[in-house]
Amino acid sequence: MNPWIVSNLWLIPAIPLAVALLILSLNNSRRSVCAALAVIGQAAAFILSVVALVPTLGTPHYLAFVNFTWFTFGEQALRLGWMLDPLTAVMIVMIALVSLCIFVFSIGYMAADKNFTRFFAYLSFFSAAMLGLVIANSLLLLFICWELVGLASYLLIGFWIDKPTAAAAAKKAFITTRIGDMGFFLGLIWLYHGTGTLLFYDRGAGCMEPAALAGLGPAATSIALLIFCGAAGKSGQFPLHVWLPDAMEGPTPVSALIHAATMVAAGVFLVARVFPLFNVGAVHGVTASLTVVVWIGVITALMASLIAIAQADIKRILAYSTVSQLGLMMVSLGVGGVAAAIIHLIAHGFFKALLFLGSGSVIHACHEEQDIRKMGGLRRIMPLTFVTYAIGMMALSGVPLFFSGAWSKEEILHQTAHWPGGPWPYYLMLLGVVLTAFYMMRQVIYVFLGRPRGASEHAHESPAVMTIPLIVLATCAIVFSVLLTPAWPWLHDYLMGETARFDARLLIQPVLFVSLVLVGIGIGFGWFIYGKREGEIDPLQRAQPGVFRFLEEKMWIDEIYASLVVAPARFAAAFSNFMDRYVWDGFVRIVGGIGQLFGIITKGVDEQGINSGVDEATTGLRGIGRIFSAAHSGQIQAYLGAVAVGMLALLLLYAWLV
């Protein structure tokens, strides 16, 4: 018998969803009621997800699921379901907790917004979709929630619809992820064709279980790659990463939600969930599809951390750091370190939410200024934000011992170092570690140290409703590391179904030492270059203007897409327009001209011969016509109403006759 929570796991996404609908139906002047509803709904989801975590703790390889038939179609029954395993359990706890912090923060951040209640409805909807995604036991249900996540992100990125850049960014996010989703959907259909089921686990008959996977044969690689297209789109992997930095146009809590708990986590989660599919026919843990995942991850991670160096917008730097960290997670998945990737995803969820909310606090204090070159000296003005932000920054950079990001990154590097596919991903990842520490140091120096410049002169510390979530997340970022150390890798063993043992000797590892040195180099280098900075121009820009420009312009990837994809589409549209307007229209005009000519001839005959006799009759008819023309109001709804009344009359006539 399943515990109560397994049968009722659906409540976890259903509560925020119900809250979202309830808020939408309330009057938007009831701001405090709506905010309270959203927070309570999220808190309920969090409590339930902790309850769901409990049964998975006792048994290794815990797996429980509930399947039901959605509908029967001829001989085929389409079945959906939800499941609970360690992967789902840690994901729901992380999503619910991070979302809860972000919800509370939003109360302060969005206080002045006129669409306050709509914002909370969308936030709840977003979190509901994501929670539904991680509990799905069916690729189809996962896909449905996946699309709902996409819809929610569209609504939230474009939340300030009056801003043209926000509307464009929302559209870009939606369309770019849709390109990936197309691949995902094809993969899903192919998988259904190959295995006859989309349930992940179904007592041996599910599509992620050995029997079905063995039947797939070589098609598994193609299916896995198609599904990876979807994951790459959602998780901002090269070449579909372009939407993620633009998504910064949304309100900052939305950025935090997208970059930490929801949306981008979905891609990594998807690959982890269907990992058995990627692993079909593995030789020493290497398959063609996994190799693709590794290299896409490596390219993404390096490219994004290079671009991050030259950005000036506080949120864009964080956005590119998310892209690079997601690349890191993909590398980890590709080399077979599923647990390491998920651990980093969770740790990243906490500290990236912290960093984004911290940046929100900074932006709020600097009167919506996002350019780090105009900030500075906020260390004294906003001590709480500074301390929590510094914790987030050290967690992201991977400063060892006390910060969760360090241990999870360690784990990934450890996995990558032993990849049989070649040593290069490992070396490139080490370079990425240096770069990450460097650009985060640059950002912190610009924003918090030095003298106040421009926007930061009249700054003030944020209210408690904004700083308390920061403190909670900062605490999570530190305390969480206890579960990750190599000496007591509780989370890793929990995910892998092993029992954690404490062994202090494992604390000292060569990889740890290497990365300690690398992080030191990155931070030291950042301090060396930016610590004694004078003037407005970036020292790197002064030294290497060409390279800096290349990175500042995001390697011109947007421009390349504009010329390779958008321009041909525009050309095709212009061409169709030309064909329509001149060629086909011309043809129609010629036909019309012939008709007109014919009309002129008949008109002549008419006017000369027949007209005079008919004139009398028409005067009479015109009177009738006027009566009828009164009914022709030109209002389409009047016409539609007349159709409806007529239909009703016919129905009544029918009822009377039969």
Partner 1 sequence: MNDLAMATTPTLTHFLVISAALFSIGLLAALSRRHAIYILIGVEMLLAAANLNFIAFWRYGAPSPQPTGVMIALFSIAIAAAEAAVGLALVIAVYRHYRTTNVDQFTSMKG
**Which residues of the chain form contacts with partner 1 (CB under 8 A)?**
1-2, 7, 65-68, 73-74, 628-629, 631-637, 640-641, 644
- Shortest Å distance, C-beta 1 to partner 1: 8
CB of 633 to partner 1, least distance (A): 6
Cα 468 from Cα 164, distance rounded (Å): 33
> CB-based contacts of 202: which residues, under 8 Å, 6+ apart?
65, 67, 79, 81, 209
Task: Kindly state the smallest distance separating residue 630's Cβ from partner 1, in Å.
Answer: 8
Show Cβ contacts of residue 294 under 8 Å, excluding neighbours closer than 6 positions: 330, 331, 334, 335, 419, 421, 425
Closer residue to partner 1 (CB): 73 or 656: 73
Relative orientation angle of helices 139-157 and 264-273, to the nearest 10 degrees? 170
Q: Which is nearer to partner 1, 3 or 454 (CB)?
A: 3
Closer Cβ to partner 1, 67 or 262, answer by number:
67
Least distance from partner 1 to the Cβ atom of residue 158, Å: 17
Nearer to partner 1, 67 or 325 (CB): 67
What span, in angstroms and rounded, lies between the C-alpha atoms of 340 and 329? 8
**Among the listed residues 250, 245, 256, the one whose alpha carbon sits nearest the alpha carbon of residue 469:** 256
Mapping DSSP to helix (H, G, I), strand (E, B) and coil, where does residue 399 land? coil
Residue 5: CB minimum distance to partner 1, A: 13
**Considering the complex, what minimum distance in angstroms separates the CB of residue 627 from partner 1?**
11
Cβ atoms 109, 253 nearer than 8 A: yes
- State the nearest-atom distance from the C-beta of 277 to partner 1, in Å: 24
CB of 171 to partner 1, least distance (A): 14
C-alpha 366/C-alpha 353 separation (Å) is 20
Q: Tell me 259's DSSP state.
A: I
In the bound state with partner 1, the residue whose beta carbon lies nearer, of 611 and 629, is: 629
What distance in Å separates the CA atoms of residue 472 and residue 606, rounded to the nearest whole number? 90
Rg (CA), the chain: 30
Query: Considering the complex, what minimum distance in angstroms separates the CB of residue 161 from partner 1?
Result: 15
Nearer residue to partner 1 within complex by CB, 636 or 658: 636
What's the rounded Cα separation, in Å, for the pair 381 and 234? Answer: 37
For residue 494, the surrounding DSSP H or E stretch is helix 490-496
Q: For the chain, how are helix, strand and coil distributed in percent, rounded to 5?
A: 75, 5, 20
* Closer of 628 and 656 to partner 1 (Cβ): 628
Q: Closer to partner 1 at the Cβ: 193 or 380?
A: 193
Locate 98 and state its tokens. Answer: 């991070």
Across 36-98, the runs of DSSP E, i.e. the strands, are: 64-73, 76-84
Nearer to partner 1, 631 or 658 (CB): 631
